[in-house]
Each structure stands twice: as C-alpha cells, then as structure tokens.
Structure 1
Amino acid sequence: MGFASEFKQFAIKGNVVDLAVGVIIGAAFGKIVDSVVNDLITPLVGIFFKADFSNIYIPLSAKVPKGLALADAKKLGPVFAWGNFLTVSLNFVILAFIVFLIVKGINALKRKEEAAPSAPAAPSKEEVLLTEIRDLLAKRV
C-alpha cells in the first residue's frame, strides 16, 4: 500500500472527520464562553468589587502607575495581572463544566440505548431452510 493511499484511508476514516468537526465546534464554543465570561459575568463581578475586573493588576515596577488600563500598564513595565488571570481561569472552569455536562448527557443516552432491548435478528437463509426441512420431516413421522 502506497503512502498516498494509506494517508487517504486514514483521512477518510470517521474518527478523523469527527475529531476535525469537534475541534471546529470547540473553538467556536470557546468564543461563546469567552463572551459569557467577559460580557456577562465579569461586569457583575466588577460591580461587586467596584472595579473593572479584567484591568485589576499589581504594578511590579515603579515606572507603572496604578489606575491605568492593563494594556497601557503592560507597555510601561511588568505587571502582575491577576484580574486577567482570574478571568481566563473562570473561562476554563465554565468551559470544563459545560463539557462535563455534555459528556454526562451523552453517556446517559448511550446507557439508555444499551439498556433498550433490541429486536431479534432475522434468521439467516440457512436457518430458514433448516426450519423448513425440520417441519417437513415432522409431517412425515
């Protein structure tokens, strides 16, 4: 088997396509979670702390005055951007929780599907023929 045909066989397998679709949907879903955290949750937390949560930092240099936006402060020198880190960590926790719920739901559906009784398989041609022969022999006796 040549390299090209081997690669073609690998690329068209269902698992590779499923993985590609999962990565694309995951990236889009990550953007949704970022928006939920940055646009909905962070402002509420900011109201609670009375500050713009994503711009909370500790200057690590005398060159960096307090009260600047995080992007401006980073241009002047090093900062300990714990508010931004907390925002990213919150994104991760929310995303992990949602993925957990999705996997839990899929597993529940799989268990339900496995528990459901399946219809008996149709007999093969050989079984049908043997049944007919048995019935004919039973009539002669």
Structure 2
Amino acid sequence: MSEKKKDPSVWDGFKAFLTRGNVVDLAVAVVIGAAFTNVVNSVVKGVINPLVGAFGTKDLDKYSSCLKEPCRFDEATGTATGIPIMWGTVLSATLTFLITGAVVYFLMVLPMSKYLARQAARQKAKEGTHEVIEVTELEVLKEIRDALVAQRGSGHDEQ
C-alpha cells in the first residue's frame, strides 16, 4: 500500500501567509505610507511649488508646452484643444516622489539600518565574550582535573 501525501491546501497556505509577522508589518507600512503621502503632497503643493513658481507661475501644474497649436485649456469644462504636454505635472510628481523617498530613507531606513548594525555588533561582542569565558573555564577545569589527579597520585604512593 502506498500512502499518498496530502499536499497543503490553498487555504492552509493562505492562513500561514496571514499569520506571518511580515503581513502585519506590511499592512502598517501601507497605512503609514498613505497618510505620509498626504503630508508630502501638502508640502510640495504648499511650499515647494510656490518656491519654484517664484520664477514663473505659482503652480507647477500650469507649466506646459504645446505639441500642436492652438493649445488652450478650458478649466470650466476641463477640455483642452491642441496637444498640450503638461510637463509641470510630471515635475511636481517627481518632486513629490524624491521628497517622499528622501524622508523615508533619512527618517526610517537609515536609522533602522544603523540600529540593526549596532544590535548585530552587540550580539557579536556578546557571543565573543561567551566564547572566551567558555574556553577559559574549560582550561581552568582541565587544570583542576590535572591537579586532582596529581594529588591523588601522590597520596596513593605514600600508603
């Protein structure tokens, strides 16, 4: 009789996936990231865009070039004539991305990597001291054993 091994079901795999700690960490990261995106968007639109706009229009989204004339954008209806290239919108999104990446790196990734490096160094130092102590204790125990054997040997010879 050959017993057929039962493959884990999809449901079992899904439960194992959900019970891993990484899923919870990922969910927290997504929620924090979504909230953080609003902050960065506000900084870009409220601070960066006006600073860049000091050299031109006040809104980066208004920077554009025209590929085919006439380029007009009717804000009331939201329609455009011609073929406008809205490179100001791309510039604004790029600045948002760069600022988000910089903040995430300098406020989250870099401190965490430094912390983990310090923890690894402490662990390595801790393991190193245990090895030295264990080796030293072993040597001391060997010396004690040798001394006891020597004493026993000298005591038996005297009888």
Do these two structures clear the TM 0.5 threshold for a shared fold by scoring above it? yes
**Which protein has the bigger strand share?**
2
Hey, what does 1:97 align to over in structure 2? 102
Give yes or no for contact 1:33–1:91 (8 Å, CA) kept in 2. yes
TM-score, L = length of structure 2 = 0.64
Closer, same or farther: CA 118–54 of 1 in aligned 2, 3 Å:
same
Give yes or no for contact 2:57–2:63 (8 Å, CA) kept in 1. no
Give yes or no for contact 1:73–1:79 (8 Å, CA) kept in 2. no
Structure 2: give runs of 5+ residues left out of the alignment: 1-7, 131-140, 153-159
Q: Distance in 2 between matches of 1:74 and 1:59?
A: 17
- Cα root mean square deviation, aligned: 3.0
Displacement of 1:49 after TM fit? 2.5
Larger relative contact order (C-alpha < 8 A, sep ≥ 6)?
1
Give yes or no for contact 1:33–1:95 (8 Å, CA) kept in 2. yes
> After superposition, what is the alpha-carbon deviation per residue over 1:77-110, rounded to whole angstroms, capped at 9, x for unaligned?
3311111111011111111111221211110011
1:17 is paired with a residue whose SS is helix
Q: Distance in 2 between matches of 1:30 and 1:52?
A: 19
Hey, what does 2:114 align to over in structure 1? 108
Q: Distance in 1 between matches of 2:31 and 2:19?
A: 17
TM-score, L = length of structure 1 = 0.71
Displacement of 1:31 after TM fit? 1.7
Q: Distance in 1 between matches of 2:59 and 2:78?
A: 16
Hey, what does 1:76 align to over in structure 2? 80
Displacement of 1:72 after TM fit? 5.9
Identity of paired residues, percent?
31
